[in-house]
Amino acid sequence: MHSTIAAFARRAAALLLAPLLLAAAPSHAQLRLDITQGVRDAVPIAVVPFGGQVEGGPSDIAAVVAGDLRMSGRFAPLERQDMVARPTTGSEIRYEDWRLLKSDFIVVGRVEADAVTFELHNVRTGTQLLTQRLGATEKNLRATAHRIADLIFERLTGIPGAFSTRIAYVAVDGQPPSQRYRLIVADADGYNPRTVLESREPIMSPAWSPDGQSLAYVSFEGRLSAIYVQRLTTGERRRVSARAGINGAPAWSPDGTKLALTLSRDGNLDIYTLDLATQTLTRITSDDAIDTEAEWAKDGQSLYFTSDRAGSAQVYRVVLDEARKAQRVTFTNNYNARPRLSPDGKELAMVTLDRGAYRIAVMDIASRNLRVLTAGRQDESPSFAPNGALLIYATRDRGRGALAIVSADGSFQQRLSSDQGDVRDPAWQPFQPRG
């Protein structure tokens, strides 16, 4: 097996600098976040406009922090017009004012020349819970605000915030058959969209490397599918698989050294693993069915994948040992596809056919209990936030492709919609190691 592939491997290993690459080019289509289903027991919190800043600007820190906390579904930030005062330090807070406004917590802060300082206080007890001074420049105030939101979220929920992470997705403009495809990376709240690849041919299935620095994706440039790995910081791009037939569904191993991918021979799709350093290809499944959409278990020792070997699409798991025996994992509903593991490895998100509609569901692996989270007709491509609290997925909104976010319990829903064209195929960036 390995020797027959060696020639391909050498060719595929060629380093390609993207001809279509527009490194960090600003995009036009900004996504807009709208809450479509709120939560009744969200915790009230006041995020007071920070001192040293003009209110309402694009890097209004308090507005970004409040937006992040609202987006989590767990907090209900107080509206600015209801704020009776504008304290910027803890000593300026009059707790009784905020108790009357029924805020449980309050965040105050100020922007200085090269730093931002914030404080989190418990209004009921009148105590400070957290204060920190973060180095900041005029240029990265939004990033600083997301970091503040991360810290506040973690202090109050015990769960690390994922507001500093980004999302990758595909945007499509124009009418068939002449469409333009763009691979975009944006902040988790939809801001700062950057086009990392643009093409007249389809782009699909972006997948983040475990270190959050690179994307693997499928591009049909050259009118055949191929898998590329692109490093976002440098724009360096490698074509890692361009074998005859299908090259699809890339998924990174937890250690980042391998990709699971889907290849075809005579039209039959099977799952392989590709060692990125040695280009060694290993066949994992060999079945007449469609085997695709691999997802690695957290220990890297097995793969979840979609197969229709039993007649309709279902999720299976194969252990990466010599026997490579696949076992069926899903038994509820007649269609379950594209498994994505939760960060703790205990749940699988997937697309399920629920009463005639394709919806996002999460299955508890141990109990096999499946809960449907969404109510669309064509929801697909679920991807967990790295803290497991939210999932992003693709849906349809007024005839167009849109992205949506749902809390892992299904109670909180919001939509990330674009003013033009379709957006689809979202992937949430993992946590990056902090240097």
The reply on whether position 16 binds another protein by CB under 8 A is no
- CB under 8 A: which stretch of 57-65, 89-97, 109-117, 240-248 binds another protein? 240-248
Query: In the Cβ-directed half-sphere of 119, how many Cα atoms lie within 13 Å?
Result: 17
The reply on whether position 313 binds another protein by CB under 8 A is yes
User: Long-range CB contacts (< 8 A, 24+ apart) of 149-158?
Assistant: 149/64, 149/65, 149/68, 149/69, 152/65, 152/69, 152/107, 152/118, 152/120, 153/68, 153/69, 153/72, 153/74, 155/120, 155/129, 155/130, 156/43, 156/75, 156/105, 156/120, 156/129, 157/74
The reply on whether position 426 binds another protein by CB under 8 A is no
The reply on whether position 420 binds another protein by CB under 8 A is no
Per the rule left: phi > 0, alpha: psi between -120 and 50, beta: everything else, 355 is left
**What helix, strand, coil percent values describe the chain, rounded to 5?**
15, 45, 45
**CB contact at 8 A, 241 and 247:** yes
The reply on whether position 248 binds another protein by CB under 8 A is yes
Q: At closest approach, how far in Å is the CB of 425 from another protein? A: 7
Q: Which amino acid makes up residue 380?
A: E
The reply on whether position 246 binds another protein by CB under 8 A is yes
The reply on whether position 378 binds another protein by CB under 8 A is yes
The reply on whether position 327 binds another protein by CB under 8 A is no
**CB contact at 8 A, 405 and 423:** no
The reply on whether position 355 binds another protein by CB under 8 A is no
> Closest Cα partner for 218 from 273, 254, 181?
181
The reply on whether position 295 binds another protein by CB under 8 A is no
Q: Which is nearer to another protein, 152 or 269 (CB)?
A: 269
Contacts (CB under 8 A) with another protein, residues 205-224: 205, 220, 223-224
> Angle at which helices 61-71 and 141-157 pack, to 10 degrees?
40
| Residue 327 neighbours by CB distance under 10 Å | 9
Q: Which is nearer to another protein, 187 or 380 (CB)?
A: 380
The reply on whether position 380 binds another protein by CB under 8 A is yes
The reply on whether position 135 binds another protein by CB under 8 A is no
Q: Which is nearer to another protein, 56 or 267 (CB)?
A: 267
Residue where the block lists tokens 């492709």 = 401
Q: At closest approach, how far in Å is the CB of 196 from another protein? A: 18
Among 195, 381, 413, 414, binds another protein (CB under 8 A): 381
The reply on whether position 178 binds another protein by CB under 8 A is yes
The reply on whether position 191 binds another protein by CB under 8 A is no
DSSP string of 180-230, one letter each residue: EEEEEEEETTS-S-EEEEEESS-EEEEEE-TTSSEEEEEE-GGGS-EEEEE
The reply on whether position 58 binds another protein by CB under 8 A is no
Q: Which is nearer to another protein, 122 or 179 (CB)?
A: 179
The reply on whether position 187 binds another protein by CB under 8 A is no
**What is the Rg, in whole angstroms, of the alpha carbon atoms belonging to the chain?**
23
> Closest Cα partner for 352 from 388, 317, 366, 368?
368
The reply on whether position 198 binds another protein by CB under 8 A is no
Q: Which is nearer to another protein, 59 or 292 (CB)?
A: 292
Q: Which is nearer to another protein, 144 or 225 (CB)?
A: 225
Cis status of the peptide bond prior to 177, with omega within 30 of 0: yes
The site for another protein, by CB under 8 A, has a size of: 41
Among 95, 191, 335, 431, binds another protein (CB under 8 A): 335
Q: At closest approach, how far in Å is the CB of 229 from another protein? A: 17
- At 93 the three-state DSSP class reads coil
Q: Which are the contacts of 178, defined by CB distance < 8 A and separation ≥ 6?
A: 200
- CB under 8 A: which stretch of 6-14, 72-80, 114-122, 373-381 binds another protein? 373-381
Tokens of 224: 């055949």
Contacts (CB under 8 A) with another protein, residues 266-285: 266-267, 269
CA distance 287 to 67: 48
The reply on whether position 179 binds another protein by CB under 8 A is yes
| Residue 224 neighbours by CB distance under 10 Å | 14
Among 44, 160, 212, 245, binds another protein (CB under 8 A): 245
Residue ranges binding another protein (CB under 8 A): 175-179, 200, 202, 204-205, 220, 223-225, 245-246, 248-249, 262, 264, 266-267, 269, 290, 292-293, 306, 308, 313, 335, 337-338, 351, 358, 377-378, 380-381, 396, 399, 424-425
